[in-house]
Every structure is written in structure tokens, then in C-alpha cells.
Amino acid sequence: MKKSILSVLFAALFSATYAQKSEISSAKNNYALFELSLQTKATIKKQLEPLNLAKASIDKAVAHDKTKNLAEAWAYRGLIYSAISVTDTLNRNNSESAFKAAQESIAQAKTLDKDGKEKNNITNAERNLSIVMQNRGVSAFNKKDYKDAYNSFKYIADVMPEDSTFNMYTAIAANNAQLPDEAIKYYGKTINLNPNNPALYQELSRIYLSKADTATALKTLEDGRVKHPDYLPLIFDELNVYLNRGQVASQIQKVEAALAKDPKNKTLHFVSGIAYSANKQAEKAEAAYKKALEIDPNYTDAIYNLSIIYIDKANVFINEANKLPSNKASDAKYNALRAKFDSELKKALPLLEKARELNPKDANVVTTLREVYTKLNMMDKAAQMKKALSEL
């Protein structure tokens, strides 16, 4: 008799445990049906039907004493609820509620998953939640709600710390939300993950400048230039920092020292030309740009900047001429100055024409070329440039 009672008890216990494990199986099967509905491009309502059935089963499983401590149950609960959150775009409240339930389930699954068997399900659940936050972040950013965008992208960056894209999005949103310290943090992470994007160094340095941390801004620019020596925006920003500090001479010394080691570096000659121009040393700037063009005759930036040297010289002559009194006694001097003005513009003209030939879509080149044609009374050519500008 005792043996029969024990058998009945054992059978009852086995039946209860099996019943709850069958709830996990039911949840898994319905989740598989949901995945099939994705492949067949079913409507949102049809996609939610198997998910809701899966949810009902998995909720029973995690509530029962026999299965409430199974990592598998909580991992699938996280997966199912995260899928509901990302799928139900028709009911924001349901999506948000499912999001919270998924977060709680993922946390519990991680605690219970000692052997790592549920790693893939946990990762997939986190990816689902990341999709939700990505959609929210993009929507918020487009609405210029940068704080909400930052919080959304930050969630993804923290869940997937090796993803450079979302670390960058977080930094951009933080910067727009006037959260400079957070922007610095996530730009720094992005650079560590992806040092091959030179614009990241520029953005990070500008945030340091906004905080009046000039030393760290310069260090960031220098780090960027080591990895991206030919990226001009970094060069210009570095020069501007020295200009604002009244230290152009220091920059010139640095460039000259670098040129002594690498005299065939066209970019260094170009940078020295910019620095000399900023220091009002036009003749040295002209020589530097010419040296860069000896190394690379098609170096568009050097061609354009050299043309500006001649235009600036021309403007000095015409400004002086325009200050003369309007009388016959001044005519000879005016004509002489006007001739020098034309001469300098004629030096700039072939350079600008070549720059346009090399880069016909450069609006600055086309605009400057139009102005030079106009000043030289070449009105047909000026009209062509006006038309070209309108077509850019």
C-alpha cells in the first residue's frame, strides 16, 4: 500500500513538473511560429498572435515553483517580451510594458545562466530591445528631442559596448543635448573602437574647446593628425587654436621642424603656407604653396590657396587706388595701381581655371573664378560661372 502511495505521489510530481516544462515547450513553439510569420511578412496583428500565446505559456512557467529558477524559462521570457516590444508598433503602452518585462527577464536569465547555455537567446533579446531603442532614438533625434535620443542610443551603446556606431550616435545626441561630459565619454569610446574616422577627433576637440580645455583639445587634434596627417579639417582646427592663443609662431616652428625631417611632404608645405598666411607672411606662404605644387602639380587645395595669395595682393593695390582723389593729378598713379591689380588677378586666373578643371563641383572655386572674371571685365566667362554655380 505504501509503495502504491509513493508511486502515485511520484507520478503526480512528475506530471506537475512535466506540465510546466511543457509550458516552456509551448512558448518555444509559438515563438517559432512568430519567426515564421516574419518570413511570410504577416501583418503586425498576425505576428502578435503567436507571441501572445507564447507570453501566456512562459508566464506560467516562470511563476511555477518547478520551473521558476530555470535560466531557459527566463531567457525565453526575455526573448518573447522583447519581440512583442519591437513588433507592437500599434500600441505604445503595450510595447513599453513588454520592454520593461523583457529587461527584468534578461537580468534574471543572466543571473541563472551559470553555464552560458542561454547566451544566444539573451543576446537576441537584447538585440530586440536595441532595435526598439534605435527606432525611438532616430525618431526623437529627427524631432530634435536630443535628450530622449541620447537616452535611447545610450541604452544600445551600454548593452553593446563594442558597437562603434551606437557609441558615436550617443555622443552626437549628447552633444546636441548640451551634455558635453557625456559626449566626451562616448566620442572617446568611439575613437577607441574606430580610430579610422578623422572627423571624430575634430568633434571631440571642439567639445573640449567649448569647455575651455584648450590643452586637451590640442592633444586630441595632435592624436588625430598622427593617424590622419592629410585630413585638412584637423590641420585647420589646430591652426585656429594657435591663432586664437596668439601662438601662430609656435605652429610655424612645429611645421618647419617636421619639414626638415620630411621635405617631400606636400601636406606639410601646404600647412606651412596656411600658417605663414595667418602670420601675414605672404611671400613665404606663396613659396610654400609653390613647393607643394612642385611635389604634386594637381594638389587642388594648394592651387586654390596660391590663387588667393595673388587675389589678396591685387586687392591691396585696388584699395589703394580707390583711396586716391578723383582728379587728373591722380590718374597716372591710379592707372599704375590698376595695372598691378590686373597683373595679380591674371596670375590667379590660370590657377583657378586649373582648380576648376580638377574639381568642377567646388563651389568656392567657381565663385572665386566668377569674381575674377568680373573684375577683369571678362563678362562672358563670368556669366558661364554664374550658370555653373546655379547647376551645382
pLDDT at 248 over 50: yes
pLDDT classification of 7: cutoffs 50, 70, 90 = very low
| Domain ranges for the chain | 1-143, 304-392
Say if pTM beats, i.e. exceeds, 0.75: no
CA–CA gap between residue 302 and residue 101 (Å, rounded): 60
pLDDT in tens, 56-88: 999 999 999 888 999 999 999 999 999 999 999
Fold of 1-143: 1.25.40
- Least confident range of 10-19, 53-62, 175-184: 10-19
Q: Are 350 and 358 in contact (CB under 8 A)?
A: no
pLDDT at 13 over 80: no
Count of C-beta atoms within a 10 Å radius of residue 220: 28
What three-state secondary structure class fits 296? Answer: coil
Residue 384 CB-half CA count within 13 A = 10
Q: What percent of the chain shows pLDDT beyond 90? A: 73
pLDDT in tens, 279-330: 899 999 999 999 999 999 999 999 999 999 999 999 999 999 999 988 888 8
pLDDT classification of 386: cutoffs 50, 70, 90 = very high
With a CB cutoff of 8 Å and minimum separation 6, the contacts of 103 are 78, 129
Q: Give the C-alpha distances (Å, rounded to integers) separating 46 from 51, 87, 97, 256, 365.
A: 9, 11, 20, 70, 58
pLDDT in tens, 199-237: 999 999 999 999 999 999 999 999 998 999 878 888 888
What three-state secondary structure class fits 321? Answer: helix
| C-alpha cell read off for 387 | 550658370
Q: Give the C-alpha distances (Å, rounded to integers) separating 132 from 95, 98, 321.
A: 9, 11, 67
Predicted local distance difference test score (pLDDT) of residue 3:
42
Predicted local distance difference test score (pLDDT) of residue 232:
82
pLDDT classification of 242: cutoffs 50, 70, 90 = confident
CA–CA gap between residue 144 and residue 82 (Å, rounded): 27
